[in-house]
Structure 1
Amino acid sequence: MKPITIIKTGSTFPDIKTNHDDFETWIAKGLGHATRAIEIIDVTLHHPLPQPDSLAGAVITGSHDNVTDNPHYCSELESWIRRMVISEAPLLGICFGHQIIAKALGGVVDFHPVSLEVGTKEIQLLEPGQKDMLFQGMPDRFKAHVFHSQSIRKLPEKAVVLAKNSFEPYQAVRFAPRTWGVQFHPEADDAIAKCYLFHLADNIRKSGQSLNQLIAQLEKTPYAAALLEQFGRILSAME
């Protein structure tokens, strides 16, 4: 049985890691496939990327890096993403992962022209999303946690927008038949989301938003969380 690979592009804040583990743990738990091997490839530590045909599929994590800073691992990761798309091995990018897939395929990523998007927000599933296998069984509107100041500003060719909201037009995108990205965080629960709000407090205030209001608006996000489990089911169905 081929493994699922989690491409780790960074770590959470140290105190969150101590109390809640790290990005890859949240994603592995969300996938819900304990009987399948999950391997972690940390590109920030120069771990070699696997051959696409050796994988059941892969998830690219979020990161505290900015795509526009072109971290040292990005060139190799972008090349690998293009190989994954050609191989049609299922691939899901989250936040930074979503953005780096877009860049690898010819899109443009930059800072959002308004401010950062943080907290629990409503996501609207569009008609293509309602028909997409990754969003099977999802309602037309659902809540998700978001934490980002950069966004996809221009989509790659042939990309299909699956979900949006009033702040972010590309909350979910199908970049290729088996390649998806989501700007929101299906792996983060409300406790993790609250921790992030406190860490981003200065940036939140500078953006003119209320930290207390954002904390009060936090909700559980079961539908967003179900997305990772659905991705795991897709991997099993395709083997």
Structure 2
Amino acid sequence: MSRIFLLKTGSSFPGTVRQWGDFESWTIKGLDLSADEVQVLDLPNGDPLPEVEACRGVVVTGSHAMVTDRLPWSMALEAWVPALIEAGIPFLGICYGHQLLAQAQGGTVGFHPGGKEIGTVDIHLLPVSSTDPLFCGLPSPFSAHTTHSQSVLSLPPDAIRLASNSFEPNHAFRIGPCAWGIQFHPEYDTKIMESYVMEQAKELEESRRDIQEVLRTIRDTPVAAAILRRFAFIASKGSV
């Protein structure tokens, strides 16, 4: 029997985890699925990848690792992804997962020349999103939480770019009928976003960022959150 798999690619800051939980708990809550409807596999800690045939849908979480580190577990995941896409199984890559999807399909990932994007930002949908199964009908712009230093610098040749903003041209894209990468974090709520800003306060100060200004950007992101529920619906069917 096929299942929805949540592939965990790292953990949040220890202080954030103690107070608010970790990537898998936020994502399962956002998918609006019960814990027994999703199988979590912790890739950095040695869990094996599932057989493609066992997957009804796959979500790859964010991580504090970098895709360009090419860690062994990450390279194994990158090599596994194309078969999943070829099989037409719904895939959603969030932040790290977004970048890994791009790299797996021939795109380029690296540090953003503008530095870190962090806080709640506006995401603008491109016209093609109006026919996309995951993004169709959503308002533009919508608010989303972000924290990333690396980005998809160039999309894979067969990617359809779906969303951008003035900082990040590749905030969302699709490969084939049902494999999506999103740079922003639909699983974050305002408390998690605030925690991420405070955990990175020293780094932000050293780069001359105004922490209070970043904190002032933080607001609810109901449209971004709805994307997870939409993906869960698509994955529950096993296709678009």
| Interval containing the TM-score (normalised by the shorter chain) | over 0.9
Task: Tell me how far apart the structure 1 counterparts of residues 102 and 138 of structure 2 sit (CA, whole Å).
Answer: 24
Residue 37 (structure 1) aligns with? 37
Residue 154 (structure 1) aligns with? 154
Residue 197 (structure 1) aligns with? 197
Task: Tell me how far apart the structure 2 counterparts of residues 203 and 164 of structure 1 sit (CA, whole Å).
Answer: 25
SS in structure 1 at match of 2:44: helix
1:158-237 equivalences in 2 (<5 Å) = 158-237=158-237
Distance 1:21 1:35, change over 3 A: closer
Task: Tell me how far apart the structure 1 counterparts of residues 236 and 76 of structure 2 sit (CA, whole Å).
Answer: 27
1:94-133 equivalences in 2 (<5 Å) = 94-133=94-133
- Runs of 5+ consecutive residues of structure 1 not aligned to the other structure: none
Which amino acid is 2:177 matched to?
Answer: P
1:68-107 equivalences in 2 (<5 Å) = 68-107=68-107
Task: Tell me how far apart the structure 1 counterparts of residues 60 and 13 of structure 2 sit (CA, whole Å).
Answer: 18
Deviates more, 1:151-160 or 1:36-45: 36-45
Deviates more, 1:207-216 or 1:19-28: 207-216
Task: Tell me how far apart the structure 1 counterparts of residues 206 and 172 of structure 2 sit (CA, whole Å).
Answer: 27
Task: Tell me how far apart the structure 1 counterparts of residues 226 and 136 of structure 2 sit (CA, whole Å).
Answer: 10
Task: Tell me how far apart the structure 1 counterparts of residues 53 and 43 of structure 2 sit (CA, whole Å).
Answer: 19
Q: Is structure 2 residue 53 aligned with structure 1 residue 57?
A: no
SS in structure 2 at match of 1:121: strand
TM-score for both structures, normalised by structure 1: 0.96
Q: In the TM superposition, what whole-angstrom CA distance separates every residue of 1:67-117 from its partner, at most 9, and x where no partner exists?
A: 111122122101111111111110000000000111111111000011100
Runs of 4+ in 1 over 4 A off after TM superposition: none
RMSD of aligned C-alpha atoms? 1.3
Task: Tell me how far apart the structure 2 counterparts of residues 221 and 53 of structure 1 sit (CA, whole Å).
Answer: 34
Residue 6 (structure 1) shift: 0.3
Q: Is structure 2 residue 22 aligned with structure 1 residue 22?
A: yes
SS in structure 1 at match of 2:143: strand
> Identity over the aligned pairs, expressed in percent?
41
Q: Judge conservation of contact 2:89–2:238 (CA < 8 Å) in 1.
A: no
Task: Tell me how far apart the structure 2 counterparts of residues 126 and 31 of structure 1 sit (CA, whole Å).
Answer: 24
SS in structure 2 at match of 1:73: helix
Residue 5 (structure 1) aligns with? 5
Residue 205 (structure 1) shift: 2.1
SS in structure 1 at match of 2:99: helix
Task: Tell me how far apart the structure 1 counterparts of residues 36 and 85 of structure 2 sit (CA, whole Å).
Answer: 22
Q: Judge conservation of contact 1:116–1:207 (CA < 8 Å) in 2.
A: no
Q: Judge conservation of contact 2:28–2:35 (CA < 8 Å) in 1.
A: no
Deviates more, 1:144-153 or 1:25-34: 25-34
- Runs of 5+ consecutive residues of structure 2 not aligned to the other structure: none
TM-score for both structures, normalised by structure 2: 0.96
SS in structure 2 at match of 1:56: strand
Q: Judge conservation of contact 2:57–2:238 (CA < 8 Å) in 1.
A: no
Q: Judge conservation of contact 1:123–1:143 (CA < 8 Å) in 2.
A: yes
Count of residue correspondences: 239
Residue 35 (structure 1) shift: 8.5
Task: Tell me how far apart the structure 2 counterparts of residues 17 and 237 of structure 1 sit (CA, whole Å).
Answer: 32
Task: Tell me how far apart the structure 1 counterparts of residues 11 and 214 of structure 2 sit (CA, whole Å).
Answer: 23
Deviates more, 1:72-81 or 1:188-197: 72-81
